[in-house]
Structure 1
Amino acid sequence: MSELTQRSDNELLQAWLDHVRSRAAIEHIGALNRHLQDQLQIERELVGRAGGLNRLRELLTGDDPDVVLSAEQALRRSETAEGRAHPAPPDSADAVLPEDRPMFRLALSPPPPAMDVAEIVKRLIAALPLEAAALLRQLRPAIGLWPQAARADAPIDGSRLGGMPCAPPGWQWPIAATEPMLFIGQINCADLRGLPGAEVLPSQGLLSCFGDHDTVMGCLLTGEGGALYYWPETDHLLPAEPPLEMLTVFPRAELLFRPMWDLPDPDSSVIAAILPDRSNQATYKSFHREMRRHGLPAEIDYPCNGSKLLGWPDLLQGESFEFTLDQPYDQYRLLLQFDSYTNGSEAAGLGPGGFLYFFITKHDLADRRFAAAELAIQFT
Structure 2
Amino acid sequence: MTYPIVFLDEAGYYFANNDQLKEQLRTMPGVPNAQYLSRDGKVFVFDKLVRLVSAAGMSADGKVDPVQVAKLLPQAWVEPELAVVSFDVVPEPYELVDKEGAVAIRHRPFNALLPGSYASKTDAQKALVKLLVGEVIRGEGQFEYRGQPMTLQHSFELQKLPARPFIDVDDEGDAPYFWRMDVDTYCPGLPPLSADAFTELVNAHNSWSAKERRAQKRTRAASDELWRDAVRYSLASLNDLSEKLPEYGFEDGAELRRLYPELSMLGDGSLYSWYSSFADDCLCLRGWTPARDDDFLFFLLGKVARGHEANGYYAREAGLMAGFALLCGSTVADALRFGIECSLYRAALGAMAGHARSAMRFLAQDKDAPPLQGSKVTTMLDLFRAGRSVKSRFAYAEQSLSDFETPVVQG
Instruction: Give the TM-score of the pair, scaled to structure 1.
Output: 0.26
Q: Determine which structure has the larger strand proportion and give its number.
A: 1
Instruction: Give the TM-score of the pair, scaled to structure 2.
Output: 0.25
Larger gyration radius, structure 1 or structure 2: 2
